[in-house]
Structure 1
Amino acid sequence: MSTTRLLLLGVVRIFQPAYGYQLRRELMTWNVQAWANINPGSIYTGLRTLAKHGYLLELEQDGAHRPGRTSYKLTTDGETEYFSLLRGMLWTVDGFHPDKMQAALAFMWSLRRDEVVDALEARISQLEAWLKSGPYSERQIREDPGTPNHVVEMFRITTARDRGELEWTRQFHERVRAGDYAFAGEPADWEPYPGMVTHWGEIPDPPANQR
């Protein structure tokens, strides 16, 4: 649910104000139905739910409230929630929900470089600690007569994923430190097609607190 919320708030923030069908079409190009387990038909419902909770402002065309013809923009609360979710997913490793880091990568550019560097260092520390404690957890599983022997392989596959993520995080951390990619307040390192992004690399002003 938190991944879906970040994706919806983030894509609205990029295109705002934008119609529901435009947001749905964009998210489908990200293949979110595969890695974030988002049903394409639920995107309109998610947008309306975020508007109901005050995170999005609905702008109806000619007073018509139709899924594809209502445009959205972030409210002040929506901007706050966006950054709260983004930072939570970036700073905290959740090995059982890799979709959270995948979503954070999609919007990491809206943070400043120094914060991203520190967050990646925090992730490295978390992963190193988990891997260091791994042998002891495995020993406990193997020595417990009430635990089936195959359970240790369930633990090992999780450890293998953590080890792979640690290797990638170290390499990504070095690339970011070396100046790769563009972050908030820096010149864009790519050229969006016309009409796609209007504030890439900028730190936008807080939105008006409209509901």
Structure 2
Amino acid sequence: MPQKAMDAAPNPPVPNWLREQTGLGAAAGTAAKRRWHKLEVMAAIETRLLILGAVMMFEPVNGYQVLRELRSWDIEEWAKIKPGSIYSVLRTLTKNGSVIRHEVDEGARTVSVYVTTAQGRAEFHRLFSEALREPDAMAPIPAHTAWLLLLLVTREDFLSSLDERIRRSEKLIEESEQQLAAGIDAPEHIIEVARMWHAKATLELEWSKSMADRIRAGEFAFAGEPLTWQPPPNDPGWQMMEDQQRYRSILGLDETVR
């Protein structure tokens, strides 16, 4: 191509994936609003997923136990969930039928104890699958949350969601590689930020593939499988297990009620 024609040829437009991440272009306001809305939706997913998962893990369980357990996971730091919001979410989950609240007498006080319903367990698995399947460099917390709760799903279900995440990640990375190679009409520092996201996505993809291979080889413990780790003797989880059995006896629940 003659130099004059090369000088006149415009750079490729900013691709949608970069426009949404950076807010570039004429539709910056709309893209930013869509982006923030998606982040808000994903934050709601991880909060419900965490709290439903904690109830499923220890049910019947009281609200303070859920709070204490999740605080031991440092959720205030990485998930930005305030302790007070846990009780609010438990009330919402009770109202929408995801959990049932039972009042249990403990000496001079009454304690609210929570058990998931079939609807709540179905909702957990839906949220879990959604969180793990959807790759997003700017919203990694839902997937991290799913990894923390893998004990509650079967090996087959986890692999199904992880394989879908890998497939979607490969597609997104291929698209970004093509767009970066073609050149983008954006400031250099914005392009470098895009390269950083691309590098992170590539690293996370390779890690996911490695984990999928290890899971297929039988590593880690999933729902219905023997546990491979136990907490130390002084861990509060042991008291929670004792309380769980006591609550089950009081409420007349057998081990099949999960």
- Is 1:189 equivalent to 2:231 in the alignment? no
1:58 to 101, 115, 134: 101
Extract unaligned runs of 5+ from structure 1: none
Shift of 1:179: 0.9
What is residue 78 of structure 1 aligned with on the other side? 120
Q: 8 Å contact 1:79–1:206 — kept in the other structure? A: no
What's the Cα RMSD here? 2.5
Matches within 5 A, 1:64-103: 69-103=111-145
Shift of 1:9: 0.3
What is residue 122 of structure 1 aligned with on the other side? 164
AA in 2 matched with 1:94 = D
Using structure 1 for the length normalisation, give the TM-score: 0.82
AA in 1 matched with 2:59 = Q
2:88 to 45, 50, 62: 45
Q: 8 Å contact 1:141–1:152 — kept in the other structure? A: no
- Size of the aligned set, in residue pairs, is 196
2:173 to 121, 127, 131: 131
Deviations 1:142-196 (A, max 9, x none): 2x2xx33322122122112101211211111111111111112222212355344
Structure 1 window deviating more from structure 2 (53-62 vs 1-10): it is: 53-62
CA distance in 2, matches of 1:21, 1:184: 25
Q: 8 Å contact 2:101–2:115 — kept in the other structure? A: yes
Shift of 1:109: 2.1
Q: Percent of pairs identical after alignment?
A: 36
2:194 to 127, 132, 155: 155
The structure with the largest alpha-carbon Rg is 2
1:177 to 216, 220, 227: 216
Shift of 1:76: 1.9
Deviations 1:60-108 (A, max 9, x none): 345xxx9x94221112211111111111112222322111111101221
Shift of 1:141: 6.0
Structure 1 window deviating more from structure 2 (106-115 vs 185-194): it is: 185-194
What is residue 167 of structure 1 aligned with on the other side? 206
Instruction: Label 1:165 to 1:42 Cα distance change in 2 as closer, same or farther (>3 A).
Output: same
* Structure 1 or 2: more helix by fraction: 2
Shift of 1:206: 6.0
Shift of 1:59: 1.7
What is residue 35 of structure 1 aligned with on the other side? 78
What is residue 32 of structure 2 aligned with on the other side? none
Q: 8 Å contact 1:13–1:73 — kept in the other structure? A: yes
Q: 8 Å contact 1:21–1:69 — kept in the other structure? A: no
CA distance in 2, matches of 1:175, 1:131: 23
- Is 1:21 equivalent to 2:64 in the alignment? yes
Shift of 1:45: 1.1
What is residue 13 of structure 2 aligned with on the other side? none
AA in 2 matched with 1:57 = I
Q: 8 Å contact 2:57–2:152 — kept in the other structure? A: no
Q: 8 Å contact 1:17–1:71 — kept in the other structure? A: yes
Instruction: Label 1:196 to 1:61 Cα distance change in 2 as closer, same or farther (>3 A).
Output: closer
> Which secondary structure state, in structure 2, belongs to the residue aligned with residue 93 of structure 1?
coil
Extract unaligned runs of 5+ from structure 2: 1-43, 232-236, 246-254
CA distance in 2, matches of 1:101, 1:153: 25
